[in-house]
Structure 1
Amino acid sequence: MTTPGQKPRSASQEAAARRGPAGPGRFMGGQGAEKSMDFKGSGRRLLGTLRPERRLLYGVLALGAVSIGCAVAGPYVLGHATDLIFAGVVGAQAPAGATKQQVLEGLRAKGEGGVADMLSTVPFTPGQGMDFDAIGTVLLWVLAIYVVSAVFGILQGRLATTAIQRAVFRLRADVEAKISRLPLSYFDRQPRGEVLSRVTNDIDNIGQSMQQTTGQVVNSLLTIVGVLGMMFWISPLLAVIALISVPLSVVVAARVGKRAQPQFVAQWKTTGALNAHIEEMYTGHTLVKTFGRQKEAAEIFARENEALYDSAFRAQFISGIIQPAMMLIGNLNYVLVAVVGGLRVASGALSIGDVQAFIQYSRQFSQPLTQVASMANLVQSGVASAERVFELLDAPEQTPEPAMPERPAELAGRVAFEDVAFSYEPEKPLIESLSLKVEPGQTVAIVGPTGAGKTTLVNLLMRFYEVSGGRITLDGVDIAAMSREELRSGIGMVLQDTWLFGGTIADNIAYGAAGATREQVVEAAKAAHVDRFVRTLPDGYDTVIDDEGTGVSTGEKQLITIARAFLAQPSILVLDEATSSVDTRTEVLIQKAMARLRTGRTSFVIAHRLSTIRDADVILVMENGSIVEQGSHDGLIAAEGAYARLYQAQFAEAVAEVD
């Protein structure tokens, strides 16, 4: 099994070297130019994530219809209670024994025709006061209606939450699966904090936005339909007056929302940039302090924080204008309906209870419009985050696995590079026409200046990158025809940049061999000289370390990764400056252990300290992506070529240090 020393940013060291040092934008966690926001396309795609939950959404719609239907019926039924109360008041003041028609004719005879018209719609009985039994019955019906509405609303909320959280769960799973399919070049181009921001902040924002809007939008639309139907049932004239505000509300919401959307895009883009900078400064905290760059780091943070403040302020302020604007339009509509409704009551065209119910409906009608408009900021923010997540999901993937993967009959470790060509950028070729044959059990040392292509050679063997031309074979099988899992399962890799995860030391060592026993872990630790310092720790092999390796030194972390390789027992071993962080005495011990580990295995050793690879079977000297020399140590020294110059320069440096 491949040991996880192959951390993406470590495996791309050669690519980084070829591209040159990071500029100010990289240090700042900056990104490329911002793409235009496809709001409609991203919005439809986001809604598409809910498609597998269609049944639950139908349930949400059905429960919402019942809940809203009851809520809409409430004011109309309550209007009957108002009419009963008013009828009781009027009836108590009218003379007993007279009929309703006689009372109305008497009022007209006194010149009070307007009052008579108003009372004509009131179902009063002269001489009879309020019918409390009837009023109580109506109020009980109203209470039952609102209780049913609340219960169905709660059930609707539960179903909506289930549907949305399932969709977000799948989205997270899709992103996790996508990351495993992305090529290493993607992570070379993206700051790690930016990727983490998309995976965490943006997906969380999508979930919150959908949670706060989906159910509310459904309820608001159902409320608008139900209330509008009741308004036309009570008074078509007042309903038409109430509808006057709708076009105005739509225009206001659309114009303000259009201005707010780019600000939400900028907000989440700057959030990713700020997170990238914070992650870099946190992981490189020691380096920042060592080089005295705290002030510059703080200035960059302040600049990114200011950019986030500005974009977030503009986004929230502009979108926040929608709600008060809608409330103003709703209040104007409310006043207009109240005035016209009062006139209709005075003319006897409507009862007081009907007008009371209509005014409630008018408020209910404007409220969902205001709510939908006020949710525009949540929708825009959620869609802006969705586009960033979809951008990651749409990123080009590594080449697919072969439909019928091949595998060597026996994994002996015979490796051949046949006329291999490769470049990180098409216009800048790095390796051209490279050919190399490595027999099983051979130890191949690769040396050369930084950027020569040493680590690239190993990356191609591991299929972290695909060759541009030629092919690489393993025991006669083209590695492009093998599955990556099959290929990497037989290769153990130890890098200069160690990789540990949060867990015990024993778990970290056993990561390279699933199901390893504690005895096997201890045996590997002893072989890599880990056992001697683990025994000094209070909890020994059960000592818990975090992903930064807190509690153990850099050299000890490297020993743990070497022990991981010992335990994995791979057929091919790749060592990229694997002993660069240990002291000289420990290095001698590890070199002896490595010699035992390499016995019978094909080994690729990338080294800068040439003294560590004197016993290699073949030494390759690389310059500018080409093998300029190859042979044994003694043979290359005798040739007095590039290797001899490197060796003599390093030997002279060592003598100077001793002097």
Structure 2
Amino acid sequence: MSDNVTEEKQDAPRPPQQRQHGPGGPGMGAPTEKAGNFKESGKRLVGLLTPELALVAVVIVLGIGSVTLSVVGPKILGNATTVIFEGFLAGGVDFPRLHEILLQVVLIYIGSAILGLLQGFILNGVTQRTVYRLRQSVEDKIHRLPLSYFDRHQRGDLLSRVTNDIDNISQTLQQTLSQIFTSVLTVIGILIMMFSISWELALVALVSIPLTAIVVAQIAKRSQPKFVAQWKHTGDLNSQIEEGYTGHALVKVFGRGKQSREEFAAKNEELYEASFGAQFISGIIMPSAMFIGNLVYVAIAVVGGLRVASGTMTLGDVQAFIQYSRQFQQPVSQLGSMANLLQSGVASAERVFELLDAEEQGADPEPAESPTDDHGRLVFEDVSFRYVEDKPLIDNLDLVVEPGRTVAIVGPTGAGKTTLVNLVMRFYELSGGRITLDGTDTAAMTRADLRARTGMVLQDTWLFGGTIRDNIAYGRTDATEEEILAAAKAAYVDRFVHSLPDGYDTVLDDDATNLSAGERQLVTIARAFVAQPQVLILDEATSSVDTRTELLVQRAMAKLRQDRTAFVIAHRLSTIRDADLILVMENGSIVEQGNHAQLLEAKGAYARLYEAQFAAPLEEVEPPIDPVDPATGELATVFDDPSVPHPGAPPHRGEELDDAEVDRI
């Protein structure tokens, strides 16, 4: 069976760090996120390229070649200008020499373009493989996280980290790595050429670098927190959207559409303000760098013109230097404009790294133990558990469940029923004591081995997008067609599947809306049949189906429990009267145990629960037809005399159908 139980209804309180709230209800976001260490996060992001170092070296070599050719071009082209200028002064242009120079320039630029294309092609592969590994690391990490992590984090925010943030990292690496390599190499190459022509003019051009660096640093300091807030608010908005859409029906039923829209508008406004601030502030970088570059360009043109007039420089050198100055400002401006992309990418990387650094569930023991017997005998020895250290939930629990017995667990909400079976599955680790399966401590087993011996049917039916056959076979992927059909018949799936257009090949959508709630539940039971577990856990498996479907589900579960150790969690006591042992839990402790007849005779907690369900109602909470008391004119909400039944109120008594009626259904 799958160990994905993040959708499971917890009957015990969740850790208080963050409860999930209902559709349209007030959201509890994560604490306000502060900007992390940009330098360290940036270094870690670049460190993701380590497996590609050989290709990165090739990219650098190709970049050096491409930039070298591109920066040599203007110098040679300047020679062509000098040939033309001197030819006009001498009365004739040396055209053969001019053709030779122009051919060299064309070949140089073609070579530069080819090397640049190869560089981009290889770098694209490096980037995509890096992001591929990052996605794989996140996916593997999610499977190593304890269930408590998902209790504390909103699902929409986690999805945003896995999708939006990783996509943003991919975009950042794709757009910045190539430009950074090319821009840095271009700046270095152009400086070399500038100094080779005129060190005085080169010093004038160098003034732009510290000025641009100061401007970029000041702007980046103000925009980085905005980018962090932008991606945090993106996650919060995704959480609100995911919650509102999955609970759309409840939003409509309780008339919370307006509040849901208001919540969306508020979170959307927060995201808008953060995004606008981040993009606006960082967007100042490029115009500022261009402004500084234009000032330097004017200075170079004036100083160069004066030197030509004085005869200390040739016109071709000045023309080449001016061209270099324009080329020089372009990569400098690009480096400045990339600051906003880098800040956005690093902000997303921080969120992904936070997920990757989250504390994992304990590793499986090495070497692991495995039961030699396959009976399914479970023993709880002095078991204690708490979600929060100072708030005990289960204390000093001792229990022996013999093979083949059915144990029902009942009690009020929050008593610890679902928590008890979650401890059997090791979804949470014990705070004290131990649980053994056929004499082997479950903590000494691998989780995969333990869960392969345990099947679970939950109250919330989880089916994936695929055929009914595939959903049944999910319990055991190597199940044969005969085993799948046998499980379907045993779980009464075969009764309705033939009425579907494609039978067992009917494709379910993601929410399986083309099946009723009861039909979906029967499919999950068939899935448990196929798994053939030693220990079976049925957690409120009939609470959301109608009475007649419940009878079919009960029969299917009765067959499924045969020759297996079974735990049945139920609020409807009529469903567990035939259990071998009934445990009554209150506040994490077993206050009563015995079979149905014994517990009724004891007239304790179980008897009170049973009477509360099957006795006629003694008190009505609905108002009379006319809610205004004519004597006082005040609003009447309940009858003063609780023994007087509400007019027309039907008695709520537990009624069951016999076997003949079930067969008729």
1:585 matched to 2:548 = yes
Paired AA for residue 620 in structure 1:
L
Which residue does 1:292 correspond to in 2?
255
Change (3 A) 1:12 1:177: farther
Worse-superposed segment, 198-207 or 24-33: 24-33
1:317 matched to 2:280 = yes
Contact 2:285–2:336 (CA under 8 A) maintained in structure 1: yes
Which residue does 1:62 correspond to in 2?
61
For 1:14-33, list aligned pairs within 5 A: 14-16=12-14, 22=21, 27-28=26-27, 30-33=29-32
Which residue does 2:609 correspond to in 1?
646
Paired AA for residue 56 in structure 1:
L
- Length, aligned pairs only: 621
Change (3 A) 1:178 1:583: same
Paired AA for residue 22 in structure 1:
H
CA distance in 1, matches of 2:497, 2:103: 75
Structure 1: any 5+ residue segments left out of the alignment? 93-128
Worse-superposed segment, 217-226 or 527-536: 527-536
Indicate the structure (1 or 2) with the bigger Cα radius of gyration.
1
Contact 1:29–1:277 (CA under 8 A) maintained in structure 2: no
Contact 1:319–1:377 (CA under 8 A) maintained in structure 2: yes
RMSD across aligned positions (CA): 1.7
Match of 1:236 among 180, 199, 203: 199
Change (3 A) 1:49 1:12: farther
Which residue does 1:453 correspond to in 2?
416
The offset of 1:25, in angstroms, is 11
1:657 matched to 2:652 = yes
* Secondary structure in structure 1 of the residue aligned to 2:387: coil
Change (3 A) 1:309 1:21: closer
Contact 2:23–2:248 (CA under 8 A) maintained in structure 1: no
CA distance in 2, matches of 1:450, 1:11: 11
Structure 1 runs, 4 residues or longer, greater than 6 Å off? 17-21, 23-26
Change (3 A) 1:25 1:398: farther
Which residue does 1:329 correspond to in 2?
292
Match of 2:352 among 386, 389, 393: 389
* Secondary structure in structure 2 of the residue aligned to 1:9: coil
CA distance in 2, matches of 1:509, 1:37: 46
1:306 matched to 2:272 = no
Paired AA for residue 373 in structure 1:
G
Contact 1:3–1:568 (CA under 8 A) maintained in structure 2: no
CA distance in 2, matches of 1:569, 1:213: 53
The offset of 1:489, in angstroms, is 0.1
Change (3 A) 1:496 1:650: same
The offset of 1:11, in angstroms, is 5.8
Which residue does 1:103 correspond to in 2?
none
After superposition, give the CA deviation of every residue in 1:196-252 in whole Å (9 maximum; x if it has no partner): 000000000000001000110010110011000000000011001111121111100
The offset of 1:441, in angstroms, is 0.5
Higher-RCO chain (CA-CA 8 Å, sequence separation at least 6):
1
Which residue does 2:50 correspond to in 1?
51
Which residue does 2:40 correspond to in 1?
41
CA distance in 2, matches of 1:36, 1:436: 50
Change (3 A) 1:187 1:13: farther
CA distance in 2, matches of 1:506, 1:566: 13
TM-score by length of 2: 0.91
Worse-superposed segment, 526-535 or 614-623: 526-535
Change (3 A) 1:316 1:21: closer
Contact 2:23–2:244 (CA under 8 A) maintained in structure 1: no
Which residue does 1:202 correspond to in 2?
165
CA distance in 2, matches of 1:649, 1:37: 55
The offset of 1:268, in angstroms, is 0.2
1:432 matched to 2:395 = yes
Match of 2:128 among 160, 165, 168: 165
The offset of 1:551, in angstroms, is 1.0
* Secondary structure in structure 1 of the residue aligned to 2:584: strand
Paired AA for residue 67 in structure 1:
S
Which residue does 1:125 correspond to in 2?
none
Paired AA for residue 73 in structure 1:
V
The offset of 1:17, in angstroms, is 9.3
CA distance in 2, matches of 1:612, 1:311: 54
Which residue does 1:623 correspond to in 2?
586
Match of 1:398 among 361, 364, 367: 361
Contact 2:15–2:387 (CA under 8 A) maintained in structure 1: no
Paired AA for residue 374 in structure 2:
L
For 1:216-295, list aligned pairs within 5 A: 216-295=179-258
CA distance in 2, matches of 1:534, 1:17: 41
* Secondary structure in structure 1 of the residue aligned to 2:177: helix
Contact 1:414–1:439 (CA under 8 A) maintained in structure 2: yes
* Secondary structure in structure 2 of the residue aligned to 1:628: strand
The offset of 1:623, in angstroms, is 0.3
Which residue does 1:152 correspond to in 2?
115
Change (3 A) 1:396 1:136: same
Contact 2:35–2:224 (CA under 8 A) maintained in structure 1: no
Which residue does 2:632 correspond to in 1?
none
1:595 matched to 2:590 = no
Match of 2:5 among 4, 7, 11: 7
After superposition, give the CA deviation of every residue in 1:511-530 in whole Å (9 maximum; x if it has no partner): 00112222321221111111
Worse-superposed segment, 541-550 or 484-493: 541-550
* Secondary structure in structure 1 of the residue aligned to 2:380: strand
